[in-house]
Amino acid sequence: MTPSDEVRLLGERAKAASRVLCGLRTEVKNAALQAMAAALEAHQGEILWENEADLAAARDAGLTGAMLKRLGLSESKLAGMAAGLRQVAELPDPVGSVVDGWSRPNGLEIRRVRVPLGVIGIIYESRPNVTADAAGLCLKSGNAVILRGGTEAIRSNRAVARVLSGSATAAGIPDGAIQLVQSTDRQTATALMQARDYVDCLIPRGGPGLLQAMRDQAEVPFIVDGAGVCHTYVDAAADLDMAVEVAFNAKVQYPAVCNALETLLVHRDVALAYLPRIVGKLIAAGCEVRGCPTTCALAPDARPATDEDWDTEYNDLILSIRVVDGLDEALDHIARHGTLHSEAIITRDREAARRFVREVDAAAVYINASTRFTDGERFGFGAEIGISTQKLHARGPLGLPELTCVKFVIEGDGQIVGG
């Protein structure tokens, strides 16, 4: 079977399932999510066995430590995946909710109502937990999903998808609602990008290569789950104790994710007092620091940064630091090197904070807080399928409402349009 044939068959089944899913009662979807969570727990041994095979192959292939961390599953991670599905079951169902409504002078009643997108394709790398997250969110929002994971996680993804699909179908979800592309041929990703007869929306979750492929080859509308070259700017009016803790958390707490800090910008007036403290704390935690000449002069343990560093999403314990002359230079640096994801300022100057919020172009802008909060659950609206860095349809964490669109429902009593 060719890659195009496989994707076409998956698409036909998903399209048929989506017509049933859009009308399922919330109680049926929630029961299925609970069954999927229980099935993950019941098949834990099988899933971990397959994941260990993926990890062994990845080590042999020389994958980085950060990639191995993303790929690895454990009992606690599986428990978290199951808990995530149960959490989605508790969230409000967006399908059918009325966004707004009004009456016209001629008596027509107009409502704008949330409906599923239809069939969502997810192309992602490394993280098998995305298989469960995406399946749960798409199901609750009434969408069928076609999952295309990376070659390095194929055994893990097959095991997770098999367990989830089987338990969902047994609980009343139509067959074809949750499907995984079985082939690891790269052409299946291209075929999914071009499956406009079957797929209504694509969400890519991967590195710059995947995003460029989407821009070059996709014929299906897609939402950019973008790279995260995230910055924190320590202003002259910053509380330096706070600035140490916030920057350290943003970099070290979990460096392998898109909302982790990659470049720290420091106002020249506080560089002497601040840099030795933060650099010493970072290095003690095993973080490599790469800095501009001023940074290296004030913190000798830092290594010289290159021009390439300012545009690099490390996803690892590496941080770039640049000393700037003030807010203008910080804003200029972010405009040139940022990826529209998450940016932060540490300051007690309210005018500087207001200007930063106003002029920084990003999905999430922080005042005196860690960029690690850019997450659907941490924002308080539950799980999310990614972080959109584009401006059309959705921006920021993609939760349940963002996996829907709207339709207008117009109710009348025989009204017609006059001449």
For 36-87, write each residue's pLDDT tens digit.
999 999 999 999 999 999 999 999 999 888 788 889 999 999 999 999 999 9
For 306-361, write each residue's pLDDT tens digit.
999 999 999 899 999 999 999 999 999 999 999 999 999 999 999 999 999 999 99
Q: Map tokens 């990890």 to a residue.
A: 55
Around Cβ 408, how many Cβ atoms within 10 Å?
Answer: 10
Q: Residue 356's closest CA among 338, 373, 374?
A: 338
Over the chain, what is the mean pLDDT?
A: 95
CA distance 119 to 230: 31
Global pTM reads: 0.89
Task: Give the CA distances from residue 235 to residues 239, 268, 325, in Å, rounded to whole numbers and listed in that order.
Answer: 9, 9, 10
The CATH number assigned to the domain with range 3-223+398-411 reads: 3.40.605.10
CA distance 179 to 9: 11
Instruction: Answer whether 3-223+398-411 and 230-378 agree in fold.
Output: no
Determine the topology of domain 230-378 in CATH: Aldehyde Dehydrogenase; Chain A, domain 2 (3.40.309)
Domain boundaries, the chain: 3-223+398-411, 230-378
